[in-house]
Structure 1
């Protein structure tokens, strides 16, 4: 086996590490700072709180026109904003959408063109440096070097990927998740679990990514229900943030798989929240995959605390455990997404077309995805 494990970001982890922001900006030699976030971060007061950490010698501007499932025009507008304001560093503050958008903005602002160009065009090293500060325990985007953007003309999600767009520093502070609503804690938490399981089981995975993914499952399984039940449970918030971080490192060095293929199709066509889509689909696609990765799913089950020696029984119990956790934390069924069955074929074709489809343990065709959409919808 041959593989590379590239980690271009410095990770600073722990309660209170966000207070190091000004010092890190000084180390990077920046003076004109562009915060990228969404309206929710502004309304919650998190932007004001973090901006207050900067010394008076810094000039700040903020770009908050970032939508869920960030759009190509969010990136183009953000890149123009960065150029117009002559910024020399980005602070990406929020969940996966602002951080993914920031990574795409960092390259387009310096290298020009349309963001979709960079699915085929090489990304040079000249990108705006990024400090990523996650406010959810879910996406792991602060430590990945990919950015998922929605093409609004074709209603299709595409990925821009290069170590050059990775954050220079990830400030991973669980204190920033304390005020996160229970519903978002739940959806982003199972999103992280999806990253961990798919990073562990992807056909292109390798031992380091496997280890990270499996350990992430253990953290998330132990703490997610506690974090949803009591947002001020410090140990649970810390455990969820660590689980999300490990899961991000896992899938970024392997891949995601069929769950994401389906979720990204739903996000593209219906603009549904990505984490919620992942959380709903995860156990159903695991059942499809079961004959193709029974032993690995059995290890996932054991990481979730299930004691069963028979691999197939353990794997099935693990899937049931994930469904039980989802129910306990209030996640809805597929019907809640309000998807029109007439779109299932188109969604299935988009799922098959997704670049991560070959990484799914079971080879999945559009027919397979369509059948699964109907099966989930009927439950």
Structure 2
């Protein structure tokens, strides 16, 4: 664990049922006169978008809706939105939806304030000024993007996911309203919940973890282990939805400071190549990377296993840790996560390309255990041959 650390949370957080009704007032407080509201077509057809626009209308804040967000947001879509709205005198951005909407909002904000090409900003601290003020309203419990200082975008030329990482990307405000997550389908609840769990586990076991990120991660793991199956089973259970939204939020706070690991290093090249939903990709790789990483820090992995429900009585630390692998597979099976080989278009001949991408991914540097390209190639193959229903 790192004991020399800084912890900065530049985003204000409002959490509670019905909080979305405050968006108009908060937009005015941020000086918003004309907002670009960034969402997807699915949400645009629900009452969730209307709750936002009604509040903006009530406070006299003008807005334009851009509802062409897709999963694994693409650089070309961000540039198209920028070209479409750059002359509209936009002074506020609102990201409404999952991580794709919020990451796209950050990317558009980057273009509005810097111009140029997104690829010029991939990496650490390459922004020259803060982006257009941004309010994020998550409607899923998974990404934590509402409190992170990163934006992950698919480069359509290289077929790789790239990241803009800079505190100047941070949203000014995150409004988290559990009621907005009540209509989330089971499959998306499961995938996004496992995304949040991956964030928490990888942040906790990261080689740059520190005390505050550890505390946030452990509480997130505990909440997800208890409430994710309930939220998947009964999406109208507000208690489950509330706890999952908190878990996602604090996991985002944790990994924003401790970073992630090999699960994300594998999942993002997969999403870049196949457009695989990010949460599904994380779910599939999580137990296998967790098992691979145990030798690097058995004690921390055993603590994760306990939070997942492992009983340590009569077991060694290593035995408890390996029970965590079983529990992760059981959880994935219980909530309906598919096996790797059952995803569309997966071709083992692409594994060398995916391993190449994983090996140079930024998250490889902070993985709990040193991992090579050859390790990644073996992990892709092992995951492809495994089944969630086969417990080790």
Give the TM bin, normalised by the shorter chain. over 0.9
Match 1:39 to one of 38, 41, 53: 41
Tell me which residue corresponds to 2:275: 271
Deviation, 1:50, is 1.8
Question: Is 1:186 the equivalent of 2:207?
Answer: no
**How far did residue 374 of structure 1 move?**
1.1
For 1:65, the equivalent position in structure 2 comes to 68
Which residue number in structure 2 is paired with residue 172 of structure 1? 176
From 350, 357, 376, the equivalent of 1:343 is 350
Partner in structure 1 of residue 246 of structure 2: 242
Displacement of 1:137: 0.3
Distance 2:200 2:59 in 1: 41
Distance of 2:232 and 2:215 partners within structure 1: 26
Structure 1 residue corresponding to 2:105, chosen from 94, 102, 124: 102
Tell me if structure 1 keeps the 8 A contact 2:130–2:169.
no
Match of 2:155 among 151, 156, 167: 151
SS in 2 for 1:60: strand
Q: TM-score, normalised by structure 1?
A: 0.97
Corresponding residue to 2:368 among 361, 364, 379: 361
User: 1:304: Cα distance to partner?
Assistant: 2.0
User: 1:15 maps to which residue?
Assistant: 17
Q: Secondary structure at the match of 1:84?
A: coil
1:25 to 2:27 alignment: yes
Contact 1:179–1:231 at 8 Å: present in 2 too? Answer: yes
Deviations 1:48-98 (A, max 9, x none): 232112225221101122221111112112222331221110110000001
The 1-side partners of 2:355 and 2:138 are apart by 31
1:114 aligns with 2:82: no
Q: Is the 8 A contact 2:25 2:59 kept in 1?
A: no
| 2:303 pairs with one of 279, 299, 304 | 299
- List structure 1 segments (4+ residues) > 4 angstroms apart after TM superposition: none
1:249-288 CA-partner distances (Å, limit 9, x unpaired): 0101111110001100100111111111001110011111
Q: Is the 8 A contact 1:80 1:109 kept in 2?
A: no
For the residue of structure 2 that corresponds to 1:30, the secondary structure is coil
Q: Does 1:287 align with 2:291?
A: yes
**Cross-structure match for 2:377:** 370
Counterpart of 1:74 (choices 70, 73, 77) is 77
Question: C-alpha distance in 1, partners of 2:54/2:342?
Answer: 39
Residue 321 (structure 1) aligns with: 327
In structure 1, the residue corresponding to 2:7 is in which secondary structure?
A: coil
Q: C-alpha deviations, 1:201-255, integer Å up to 9, x for none?
A: 1111111111111110001011000000000111111110011011000101111
1:348 and 1:367 in contact (8 A); partners too: yes
* SS class of match (2:153): strand
Displacement of 1:124 in angstroms is 2.1
Counterparts of 1:212-227 in structure 2 under 5 Å?
212-227=216-231
Whether 2:212 is the aligned partner of 1:208: answer yes
Question: Does the CA contact (< 8 Å) of 1:187 and 1:279 recur in 2?
Answer: yes
CA distance in 2, matches of 1:281, 1:245: 22
Paired residues, number: 379
Q: Give the match for residue 389 of structure 2.
A: none
Q: What RMSD, in angstroms, separates the aligned Cα atoms of the two structures?
A: 1.2
- Displacement after TM superposition at 1:161 (Å): 1.1
Is the partner of 2:55 in helix, strand or coil? coil
**Is the contact between residue 263 and residue 281 of structure 1 (CA under 8 Å) also seen in structure 2?**
yes
Q: Which moved more, 1:281-290 or 1:305-314?
A: 305-314
Kept after mapping to 1: 8 A contact 2:86/2:112: yes
Q: Is the 8 A contact 1:34 1:87 kept in 2?
A: yes
Residue in structure 1 matching 2:255, options 251, 256, 274? 251
Secondary structure of 2:368's partner? coil
